A and B are shown apart, each in its own frame.
Chain A
């Protein structure tokens, strides 16, 4: 399962009217959510390979691990958004289109929802050579595309070398799989076996591979012979659903623009249950497009949706929803912390804008922001628990480190601390600041005042910023809070760089800390707290990295090439410790993930490590999901 970072999309709910609903007890007070844990859904162990012999062929199929259900029913989910932009999984550049790719295409490997380890999906086995540079991947026998053609090593070689390797569609896929700029080579060993070679050992490779949809060569190859431009229109939202040849659980039945995408079972899907029934159980899977979050919740209450997946249920709604659980005939599940992090950052940029010769950040403000005591003081002045209680209504946890609580790589030695205004004042004094009755002054006599930005239309971030401004006022710092449009915010961070402080969030890697390299390495494209500009070749030159930035660079490089788990943890802990001390991002909180599912659905076993892009979302075992009673569907 791929863990990409993606911005918490600016969930600009049009309707804030709902926030005026009667204030409910916070979730912290009425915290009786059933948190999914290994105790609730015991680890069923690895998949079992079963061989089915028919007169013509022999098939190797994975046997499902859940309860035995039965076929039938239409399962409807929705994700708040504007719908898929394309059905072409290689061109997809947005979360929704990417998520739909996961429904239709099976990947070579996936991550086990219970253990977080990679295991074969299309692949029967994955062997890594002793020098850790070669991956021998063997496909299962008898696998078929939805049009009945066999899935073979040729498809894998074509996908890797042509589709991804030549950068068709969203060429980031190539860059994600590239090892220090070099794309691995894939060669066919035999009809069902391929060898992938990386020039140097690269640990994150396998997890990146789990995000690659393997394509049917016999269908896609002709397109790749045409000009690359035409690839964008291939399998776009206007395409004929019948032309989509898939390997995943479902195939597209029809796309009703602006309303929904309907999928039907892929009868060729290579999985069976214990009784030998072909999976998935569901006849139809409907992905409804609902552009408003409140409407989505109402649709769920009305029984038009079976599941409200992660991030559909937000803190302020959760308590209200919990009260309806019994009468609404649904169950809420807590999936623990999100992999997203929310933070406030200061612009540490000390460079001049080459276009006009002016500093991106005023020199006196540069001094404050680059003063470690200033950042540490801000850090200690924040009352994270207050934010969690008041803004998230308890559906979140305070955060102090770059790896979120969801990550197995979180550094447990970095202790949380409560708000401490006295310590904050002391740190400011150490940093040369003096507090006077009318505010805080720096060593040169300038009054400390800065602007704080976040994206508008997000009531949660709005409230967070107001709380931060309020806390910093106690230190004598004047914060001018200004919400701006999401697009403008990003262009400021990305290239204008004329900002002072920003509150924003990143969804982070849950299983693979190296996925944060783009943010943490000093030449990263999202090294937001001190973004350097790319040169004409697109490379980002670095000549003014701070010592601790260089140290983090080294640690990330080591993390990428060390296969030894314990050592990786050590490097990861070290980088977190540096961030914990330097506070380039001052972390605030992680939301808790909640889902709500109708009680008529069987085999729904959400696990914190089994979370993917929606619509697959928390349904890592979607093929096993079934209705207890297919007749009763839609009558509640």
Chain B
């Protein structure tokens, strides 16, 4: 099957999936005993009439099926609706998407840059101190709650006065020249990227190590060694290349995570990302905003998987697209 037809087929397959995702998440949101108007209700200065008007504006007085219908039909017309505050959901998402993408891309870049060589290094020195050190680092990264690490790094930043405390830009950001702006953002990005990289490190590093160890036990590696190839050529030319294949599937998942954000880290670090926006929306049951975020996540996941499959095809000609 040629690649374009394969892509088309996958996209067609994805549509019912997205529909099911939307029905499921809508149902779950509706079932959740969260009242989007709770804060208004708890505020004695808000009158009963105002609450009623708000219910009408948000369509909360209609049956859930009708609410879903309204949501779906406007989605099909390309309208994501308005958030509870009355602003366009699309604009709200767009404002944050860039920031989240920036953080996501940098995180993936650094995670892979560090994790893959580290995994190789650990596999090559299996059982020795290098391997143990790597496993210690990855275990720490895996077991440490992100918010705690974020907070600890903020404390380090406070003690050293070298890095800003949270946010993405300084208040004088718009008065700086473009180089200054880039440097300012880079400074602000160090802590969040470090936190997320450290957390993501473990999975890929261990995966890489395990893959490589598997490959190193394979017959053809023994053959390569037997025919007298230098160890470096065996490992880096033959083994690593083959060991990397399964990681490409992981890359697909990572792609999906690009736009979902990291709510806890973003909250602690006051980072203006999508994760925080979604979390806040869930807390206040901002239906349109939450639904848009979920659908965005769904689309990204499907796209990520598709991308991974196609990439695999290019990396490994033995794979056929079915």
Contacts and interface: CB of A to CB of B under 8 A. Distances in A.
Nearest to B168: A259
Interface string A292-319: 1011001101101000000000000000
Contacts of A524: 44
Q: Which 9 A/B pairs are nearest by Cβ-Cβ distance?
A: A258-B272, A232-B86, A175-B47, A518-B44, A4-B45, A85-B85, A490-B38, A257-B95, A487-B38
Contacts of A292: 267-268, 270
A362 interface: no
Q: How large is the interface on A (under 10, 10 to 19, 20 to 34, 35 or more residues)?
A: 35 or more
Interface of B: 33-35, 38-50, 52-54, 57, 82, 84-88, 91-92, 95-96, 99, 147-148, 151, 154-155, 157-158, 161, 164-169, 171-174, 264, 267-273, 276-277, 280, 283, 285
Contact of B46 (A170, A288, A487): A170
Given A86-B85, A86-B86, A487-B285, A15 B33 contact: no
Interface stretch (A5-13, A392-400, A458-466, A567-575): A5-13
Given A15-B151, A232-B57, 15 more contacts: A14-B267, A14-B268, A74-B171, A76-B171, A86-B85, A91-B86, A172-B46, A233-B87, A238-B87, A257-B92, A258-B277, A262-B171, A288-B167, A491-B33, A518-B44
A232 B47 CA distance: 17
Contacts of B272: 256-259, 289
Interface in A204-248: 229, 232-233, 236-238
A176 interface: yes
Contact of A258 (B41, B99, B161): B99
A14 B154 contact: no
B118 to A, nearest CB: 28
B86 A6 contact: no
A161 interface: no
Given A304-B165, A538-B48, A238 B43 contact: no
A485 interface: yes
Contacts of A238: 87-88, 91-92, 95
Contact of B87 (A94, A236, A518): A236
A233 B54 CA distance: 14
Given A236-B85, A302-B161, A304-B164, A487 B33 contact: yes
11 contacts: A93-B50, A170-B46, A174-B47, A175-B50, A258-B96, A302-B165, A487-B33, A518-B44, A526-B42, A534-B48, A540-B48
A116 interface: no
B34 A5 contact: no
A312 B316 CA distance: 57
Contacts of B167: 259-260, 288
Given A82-B280, A302-B161, A237 B87 contact: yes
B172 A486 contact: no
Contacts of B48: 525, 534, 538, 540
B25 to A, nearest CB: 18
B158 A295 contact: no
Contact of B38 (A176, A291, A491, A525): A491
Most buried by A among B88, B166, B280: B166
A294 B44 contact: no
Given A238-B87, A295-B166, A7 B42 contact: yes
Contacts of B42: 6-7, 490, 493-494, 526
Given A7-B43, A172-B47, A298 B35 contact: no
Contacts of A36: none
B35 A538 contact: no
A519 B45 CA distance: 10
Contact of B270 (A6, A233, A289, A491): A289
A170 B270 contact: no
Most chain A Cβ neighbours within 10 Å, of B39, B42, B166, B169 = B42
Nearest to A235: B86
Given A4-B44, A14-B267, A301 B50 contact: no
Interface string A474-490: 00000000000111101
B34 A6 contact: no
A290 to B, nearest CB: 5
B96 A538 contact: no
A258 B273 contact: yes
A153 interface: no
A457 to B, nearest CB: 10
Nearest to A208: B45
A169 to B, nearest CB: 9
Nearest to A493: B42
Nearest to B264: A14
A284 B148 CA distance: 34
A286 interface: yes
A299 B171 CA distance: 13
A14 B167 CA distance: 17
A6 B269 contact: no
A295 B272 CA distance: 14
Interface string A176-216: 10000000000000000000000000000000000000000
A359 B208 CA distance: 62
Contact of A290 (B52, B171, B270, B277): B270
Contact of B45 (A176, A294, A488): A176
B267 to A, nearest CB: 5
Contacts of B87: 85-86, 233, 236-238
Contact of A488 (B34, B91, B151, B171): B34
A522 to B, nearest CB: 14
Contact of B267 (A6, A174, A284, A291): A291
A294 B38 contact: no
A331 interface: no
B85 A302 contact: no
Contacts of B88: 233, 238
